[in-house]
Structure 1
Amino acid sequence: MKIIKYVFITLVMLLLVSSAFLFFYTRHLTPKYSGEADLPGLTQTAEVLFDSYGTPHIFAESDEDAFRALGYVHAQDRLWQMELMRRIAPGRLSELFGSDLVETDVFFRTLGIHEYSKSSVEALKKRGGKMLVLAEAYLQGVNQFQKDGPTPIECTMLGVEDEPFTLEDIYNITGYMSFSFANAFKTEPAVSAFAAMGYDYLKVFDLDTTRSERIKSYTTDSNHVAIANQVNEVFNKLPLAPFIGSNSWVIAPQKSSTGRVILCNDPHIGYSQPAVWYEAHLSSPGLNYVGYHVAGVPFAFLVHSEYVANGLTMFENDDVDFYREQVNEQNPDQYWAVDHWEAFDKRREVIKVKDSADVEIEVRLTRHGPVINEAIKGLAETEAPISVWWVYFKFPNYILDAAHEMAVAKNMEDMRKAAEKIHAPGLNLMYGDNDGNVAWWAVGKLVKRPSHVNSKLILDGASGADDPQGYYEFNENPQAVNPPWGYVYSANNQPVMNIEDSTVLYPGYYLPGNRAERIVKVLEAQEKFSKDDLKNLFLDSKSISAIEMQKSLMSLVEINALNEGERTALEQFNSWDGMHEEDTYGAAIYYTWVYFIYEIAMIDDLKERFGEKGSDIFKAFMSAHLMKRSIPTFISAADSPWWDDVATETTEGRPEMVTAAFKETVRYLSDRFGEDQENWKWTNVHTLEHPHPLGAVDMLKPLFNVGPFAITGSDMVVNNQGFPFSKDKLFNVSFGPSTRRIIDFSDINNSESILPTGQSGVPFSDHYDDQSEMYIKGGWRPVYLSRTKIEENATLLTLKPTN
């Protein structure tokens, strides 16, 4: 009996000790939102007021001290995210995650963003200036917290050793951002595969194919299959989600109920935990603005002050080309460069792999850019080299200068001059100010290509005939300044510009015009808009294009071929009003039907031409913007060769394929959600979970992931809650608004914002997920510039200089 008692007491003591350890350990990891902390390097004491959602409002006596403090508080909330972000572009993920990420690292090492970052840092140090001083101050704050603060639990679990953050890391992070904006990496290889099948297979997609019958596709089957598959895998394996799209609209005084400008913006980015943006307010003699920061980058890309506000969306221009190079048969170290043989430049890369041997690669470079053959699994080295030409590498990098200058801009001309400094990625810069101006500029160096070139195909690299011919001047980019209709907007739609009485369409990978059409329709529907009206527009879930497709699909389906359950489902679909709200029925049927129309129509043809690798091309295409843009043209093409099933001796047409796809739709939804069609209600099927990289481990998911939540909105509506068009992930929301912002110049302290989860990336912080429920419900929280307003409900952390 005494032994049992002893064992029991021992177990209780162990439990108490373990509980105490966990309590104090988690408290140790939690960010410090009050009290005092030492920050060497400060010239004077800085005060950080944290509001009720953990947003830091930094008050400092110098700009440099404000950025030191920013680096410190940014790191205490997001150090793990910073660590992850800085490793993507230089190909250092394998050091954390092992051999599964080697192919991703090889791809990025080959691409060479890290080499470009090195040269950008050298150039920055040579020119010096205020931006360099502020960037280094920020890094001092980050590195001081890394030295003195607790190690993030993720770094402890993965065995990450401390390594000071550098200017090169900052440029690598912005380089990864630019890469994730470049949709050509995902789309052009798949388009080239369709072109290789013949013009009739290509013309059904919504792209410029007017010259496709004349231009040759300079690829072999293995080229486009391997590239399409590998690039798709790179995106799928990244532990942080890429940038996707965005909405923004800015209302001029004549359309505003207050008579002042109102700016709205919600950049669409893949969901992740921690959330993408870190919100911070900086106040010092030369600064007073609220900015939204990417982990590890000192300068905000989204900002507002008492004078100006900006918003960003992806421009979706095509700033990447693939070239097939010609190798000298007598000397494989040379390639043909227009009129002579030229030696490949070469560099060696060593990739360190956790719990495995290092991986060494040799990267070849041409006049166009890096050769990607060695980075593409399944693309034999004996194939003709495929090189990548990217605008990002062709100009000095001033994106950090531009971001800083936007933050301190006092008027429209300041903002415009800052925008001119960005050469890549392509962005739509939305603008409003306290003087009543509204503007939109397409930002980035837009390429001039020869008239015969279809930039969506893999091009001839040897002759020089397909090379870019130059760039448009900034004033030739699409833009609108104070238009008479009283607003500017962007939803990643196709822009048009008139230059010297001719209409210019810029090649790109623009999203369908659905969201843009809906935004314009709403903004044109009434004379004046209040802030509440515009909040409602953020959550608008009406799909105009889906209703148009509804009519087309209903005219094609062979009703007599359907059983009773399928007819009931068809009636449900036919009564759908195009909304995507909680009690919506029919939407689940629409997206599933569209998916199976593509699968049934395309898979057999792709496999006939490319074997089992045809499935890889299909997956890559279904993940690209082009797929969504092509829905109406693909389904409306009555004579398309895609409609014939190559496995049968008969010739099928659209009605047979559309009907077969509908039957497969009902089977899929019944298997996944149950045969009771009441279970197909939109918020039963459409769900969001914010994934943390370590949440992929089932045991760790409850600690790190946030959600799941039932959510309204959908793909291709203004409330853009998108999901992959794939059988295993259909309706699992993977991207959407990374923040919603509404900046009201009738009272700048009347501005509001929301993040998808919370400010902090520390799982034990109260601010890890405290905005998630509000976000799902379309809620908002105030964003103040006034210290008086901030102090009403804030805690104070005092950062003190040390000798």
Structure 2
Amino acid sequence: MRFLFRWLLRLASLAIVLAVVAVALVYYLASRSLPDYSKELSVAGLTADVEIVRDNSNVPHIFARSDRDAYFGLGYAHAQDRLWQMMLLRRTAQGRLSELFGRRTLETDSLIRRLDLYNLARSSVEAQTPETLDALEAYAAGVNARIEEINNSSLGRGAPEFFLFDARMPPWQPADSIAVIKVMALQLSGHLSEEVLRARTSLALDDPDRLADVLPDIPGDGVAALPEYAELAPGARRHAELAPASGEDFLMPLPERGQAGASNAWAAAPDRSASGGTLLAGDPHLGLTAPSIWYLARLQLSSGGVIGGTIPGIPAVMVGRSQQLGWAITSSYLDDQDLHLEELNPDNNNEYRTPDGWAEFRTRRSIIEIKDAAPVTITQRWTENGPVLPGSVYDLGSITPQGHVMSLSWTALSGSDTSMSAAVGLMKAGDVREAIDVSELYVAPSQNLTLIDDETVAMKTIGTFPRRAANHQSRGRLPSPGWINTNRWQGRLPYDQNPEFVAPEGGIVGNTNNKIIDRDFPRHMSFEWGDSQRVMRWRAMMQGREVHTRDSFIEAQLDTVSPAARTLLPLIGSDLWYTGEAAPEGTPERRRRQALDLLAEWNGEMNEHLPEPLIYAAWLRALQERLIRDDLGPVADAYDHVEPLFIERVFRDIDGAAAWCDVVRSAAEETCTDIARLALDDALVWIDETYGTALESLRWGDAHEAVHEHQVLGEVPILKTFVNIRQSTSGGDFTLQRGRTSGAPEHPFRNVHAAGYRGVYDFADPDSSVFIIATGQSGHLLSRHYDDLGQLWRRGEYIPMSLDPELARAAAVGVTRLRAE
């Protein structure tokens, strides 16, 4: 026995030693790719030396003697910190993820290949301005200089992820940067999903008048009645035949409904500023990832310094300021996507109907290489309207009649896309008017560009506006027959017709993705908008002060009061407050009374430390589920977020919307009060099962946890503990400090889509401007800069946004000198 014990002890000791050695080896290999920020390096491709000063927050300040060398330095810095992220974005745009991840990403690659994003990016290279071509080539050379350094010096393959996946890194090309913009356009475009949902809902409803309730228009002038989708698409399946929407594929860049893009931006003219200078605040919202999609950087160009938020892979400051100009972007919600039904020739499925008869699809075969599996060959098909989409995209198959396919018209499907030239030109614009003029080159994704110079504030919608016929059958709100001329796009509207607000009366301009114009179709811009709630709080905060300061703009940016909660709670609880009988402790009636008492004293602030936001959110979620489930069946799964305008229409009984409160499949006739009471009980049961604690002890932040998930390693056991960043957060779906919830059954209130970048710029004292990103500058999980800015972001703090070189050098974490060979 002692002999056996000794050998077991020896084997256990050996296993421990081997484990320690393995961990040490893994750490050593991974740490080899940690960038050295204090060094000198001779590189080819420079005309003069470049200096990259990393300030205390690891923001690179790139000093060069020419613009070309500055872009080279930005490419090098991006590749130092975010090489894996850049390679993943490029593979996404190329439809080559399956070479790394196997069949998990086959659907993603198939869709991207059918859209042909990368080939469109390649053909767009020659459309750029000479200055932009120079920037793209120099940036690519900077990225490739870092790749060459990694290969020559055995720097751990450049990032730890490359030890787990294919380490081959082809040289970066100018087309790669344009392709990244196209992937971002896909992530920020939501009208495709809205058209599909509107069609699915139309087919599920018995009463077509109820469609305006559950998919309400933003208040304003009315919209003319639309045909039912069944009229546009005879043979489309109704009711029980409809399948629930399919789940997302791994790394699919298609946005979930409601997460196509959101953001805030507002500006104040000198006469509305306490300091006498213009003010600008901006915080674009995207899905939370680790690392963030945003990367802070400063460039010294011939026109002066430029600083702000960049996207690795793109040689431009996308949001930020120069010495003359400040700019911010918000998703405009321009309707720049249309679905078209394409009828197949019953005698030849290689042909589809056009206004002039049958025509052949434009086709190309494409081979998708798959890790550990045989390659798959797909056939890309294009019509005159655009590419044919697979039926799995947003469950398009459920609304496509037999003998038809669905094609997509989309402004981003341009082979002469000059959006990159607009982004590069914006950095050198000298004033608001010059910035508006250069932005005519911008194609997609459409944005509202908020601008300030020393004297003027402005907002301009940029991006291509499709021209539709006045008698378009669905007005772009539903898939329409593509063989009818009036349903096809008729070119584009002139840029001068894009909404523009320069030096507005009142001195304040801004956007929260709210409705900004109310023009008649077809010059309407959009029927779908991203916000009907935050704008009410923003308007109150802007008009609540005669003059503003940098701090008042920060206060608005971080505001967590929900106007939706303030509006809806009095409506849904009007017959429940103070009307119940006394109930003993431990009964559902007593617990309901406790919840109502807490909500009665609540001001609508979605503070992470309070219980009321969680009770309110759970109640509204349960209420909407009870209202729509019996009418919509499986289509109700797509409505995973509360729509405040729908709830308000129902409880105010606008146009008979209270009919939603009656459960169709029950004999009794339920009232809205009945449904509100039942929904509150549902919510309290769910809270008890999920959190199991007294209502007073609940914390909204426990449910509204911001999860910055690593896109590849975030679900891997053990590793996810190190690569994912989790933070308790305030805010919600309808607060200015927006934290869009997931809507997923297992974690419905998890914060998954928020302001990954925040910036506030004061032109009275530009060096007092501030900014922040949601994680850290580095994408390397062993770097102290992987998440060091995350806690500042969570607490609503910022770091200085200065163009003063000496401030950058003070307490710098390193200085890299790139020597021209």
Alignment map for 1:765-780 (pairs within 5 Å) = 765-780=783-798
The match for 2:753 among 735, 743, 762 is 735
Q: Which residue of structure 1 lines up, in the alignment, with residue 771 of structure 2?
A: 753
Contact map agreement 1:250 1:432 (CA 8 A) in 2: yes
Distance 1:240 1:95 in 2: 23
Residue number in structure 1 paired with 2:621: 595
Structure 2 match to 1:477: 498
Residues 512-540 of structure 1: per-residue CA shift (max 9 Å, x gap): 32211211111111111121122111111
Please give the alpha-carbon distance, in whole angstroms, between the structure 2 residues aligned to 1:426 and 1:235.
26
Alpha-carbon distance change, 6 to 235 in structure 1, aligned in 2, over 3 angstroms: closer
Q: Is the 2:325–2:452 contact (alpha carbons within 8 Å) kept by the matching residues of 1?
A: yes
2:173 paired residue number: 166
1:175 to 158, 170, 182: 182
SS at the partner of 1:325?
Answer: strand
Q: Secondary structure at the match of 2:162?
A: helix
Name the SS of the counterpart of 2:330 in structure 1: strand
Is structure 2 residue 510 aligned with structure 1 residue 489? Answer: yes
Measure, in 1, the Cα distance between the counterparts of 2:370 and 2:333. 34
Matched ranges for 1:214-233 at <5 A: 216-218=231-233, 220-221=235-236, 233=248
- Aligned partner of residue 121 in structure 1, secondary structure: helix
Q: What stretches of structure 1 of length at least 5 have no aligned partner?
A: 608-613
Whole-angstrom distance in 2 between the partners of 1:410 and 1:432: 11
Q: CA deviation at 1:235?
A: 8.6
Partner residue of 2:216 out of 194, 197, 206 = 206
Give the Cα separation in 1 of the matches to 2:343 and 2:572. 47
Per the alignment, in what secondary structure is the counterpart of residue 596 of structure 2? Answer: helix
Q: Tell me if the contact between 1:193 and 1:224 (Cα under 8 Å) persists in the aligned partners.
A: no
Structure 2 counterpart of 1:444, which letter? G
The number of aligned residues is 786
C-alpha separation in 1, matches of 2:372 and 2:160: 20
Instruction: Determine what percentage of the aligned residue pairs are the same residue.
Output: 27
In 1, the alpha carbon distance for the partners of 2:61 and 2:255 equals 27
Aligned to 1:363, the other structure's residue is in SS state: strand
Q: Which amino acid aligns with 1:729?
A: H
Deviations 1:58-114 (A, max 9, x none): 111221111111111110100010011112233222222221221122222222222
Residues 237, 401 of structure 2: 8 Å contact kept: no
Q: 1:339 to 1:17 in 2, by over 3 A?
A: closer
Q: Deviations over 1:279-326 (max 9, x none)?
A: 111114345211422121112211311110100000012111111122
CA distance in 2 between counterparts of 1:224 and 1:781 reads 54
Assess if the C-alpha contact under 8 Å between 1:69 and 1:799 holds in 2: no
The separation in 2 between residues aligned to 1:503 and 1:461, in whole angstroms, is 18
The amino acid of 1:48's aligned partner reads I
SS at structure 2 position matched to 1:722: strand
AA in 1 matched with 2:90: R
**d(CA) in 2 for partners of 1:10 and 1:512?**
61
Distance 1:141 1:709 in 2: 35
Aligned partner of 2:562 in structure 1 is 543
Q: What letter corresponds to residue 104 of structure 2 in structure 1?
A: D
Which of 156, 178, 201 is the matching residue for 1:194? 201
Amino acid of the structure 2 residue aligned with 1:580: M
Secondary structure in 2 matching 1:210: coil
Partner of 2:605: 579
Whether 1:412 and 2:415 are equivalent positions in the alignment is: no
Secondary structure class of the residue paired with 1:566: helix
8 Å CA contact 2:649–2:657 kept in 1: the answer is no
Partner of 1:255: 272
2:309 touches 2:757 (CA, 8 Å); kept in 1?
Answer: no
- Secondary structure of the residue aligned to 2:603 is coil
Aligned to 1:132: 133
- CA distance in structure 2 between the aligned counterparts of 1:12 and 1:503, rounded to whole angstroms: 71
SS of structure 2 residue aligned to 1:139: helix
581-590 or 165-174, which deviates more: 581-590
Q: Are 1:405 and 1:414, in contact at CA under 8 Å, matched by a contact in 2?
A: no
Structure 1: distance between partners of 2:475 and 2:777: 44
The structure 2 residue matched to 1:391, chosen from 411, 418, 430, is 411
Shift of 1:370: 1.2
Is contact 2:366–2:379 with CA below 8 Å preserved after alignment? yes
Tell me which moved more, 506-515 or 68-77.
Answer: 506-515
Tell me the distance in 2 between the aligned counterparts of 1:388 and 1:227.
Answer: 22
Distance 1:343 1:742, change over 3 A: same
**Alignment match, 1:710:** 728
Distance in structure 2 (CA, Å) of the matches to 1:588 and 1:399: 42
- 2:366 pairs with 1:349: yes
Identify which of 601, 604, 618 aligns with 2:630.
Answer: 604
Contact 2:741 2:748 in 1 (8 A): yes
Is the 1:63–1:287 contact (alpha carbons within 8 Å) kept by the matching residues of 2?
Answer: no
CA separation of 1:165/1:228 partners in 2, compared to 1, >3 Å: closer, same or farther?
A: farther
Q: Give, in angstroms, the shift of residue 140 of structure 1.
A: 1.0
Counting only pairs closer than 5 Å after superposition, residues 580-659 of structure 1 correspond to structure 2 as: 580-607=606-633, 614=634, 617-622=635-640, 627=643, 630-637=646-653, 638-639=656-657, 641-659=659-677
Structure 2 counterpart of 1:492, which letter? N
From the superposition, tell whether residues 225 and 474 of structure 1 become closer, same or farther in structure 2 (CA, over 3 Å).
farther
When residues 544 and 10 of structure 1 are mapped into structure 2, their CA distance, relative to the original with a 3 A threshold, is closer
Pair 383,209 (structure 1): closer, same or farther in 2 beyond 3 Å: farther
User: What is the rounded CA distance, in whole Å, between the counterparts of 1:560 and 1:9 in structure 2?
Assistant: 67
After TM superposition, give the deviation of residue 553 of structure 1 in Å. Answer: 0.4
**Aligned residue identity for 1:184:** H
Q: State the match for 1:94 in structure 2.
A: 98
Question: Partners of 1:6 and 1:681 in 2: how far apart?
Answer: 49
Using the alignment, how far apart are the partners of 1:192 and 1:317 within structure 2? 19
Superposition deviation, residue 382 in structure 1: 4.7
Cα 1:399–1:736, aligned 2, differ >3 Å: closer, same or farther?
A: same
Q: Hey, what does 2:451 align to over in structure 1?
A: 431
* Residues 1:318 and 2:302 aligned together: no
Q: Partner residue of 2:55?
A: 51
Confirm or deny that 1:143 pairs with 2:144. Answer: yes
Deviations 1:449-501 (A, max 9, x none): 324533221112122232234443222222211112011101000111569xx
Query: Are 1:334 and 2:351 matched, yes or no?
Result: yes
Partner of 1:669: 687
Could you tell me which amino acid in structure 2 is paired with residue 542 of structure 1? V
Q: Residue 324 of structure 2 contacts residue 453 of structure 2 at CA under 8 Å; is this kept in 1? A: yes
Q: Quick check: 2:140–2:172 contact (8 Å CA) kept in 1?
A: yes
| Mapped contact 1:85–1:295 kept (Cα < 8 A) | no
Partner of 1:610: none
Cα drift, residue 51 of structure 1: 0.3
Taking structure 1 as reference, are residues 227 and 776 closer, same or farther at Cα in structure 2, changes over 3 Å only? farther
Give the alignment's TM-score, normalised by structure 1: 0.91
Secondary structure of 1:632 counterpart: helix
Q: 2:82, 2:143 → 1: CA distance?
A: 10
Distance in 2 separating the partners of 1:381 and 1:109: 24
CA RMSD of aligned residues (A): 3.0
Tell me what 1:156 maps to: 163
The secondary structure found in structure 2 opposite 1:397 is coil
* TM-score of the aligned structures, taking structure 2 as reference length: 0.89
Alignment match, 1:611 = none
Indicate if the aligned counterparts of 1:117 and 1:172 stay in contact, CA closer than 8 A: yes
Which residue does 1:456 correspond to in 2?
477
Amino acid of the residue matched to residue 275 of structure 1? S
Unaligned runs of 5+ in 2: 582-587
Contact between 2:81 and 2:777, CA under 8 Å: does it hold in 1? yes
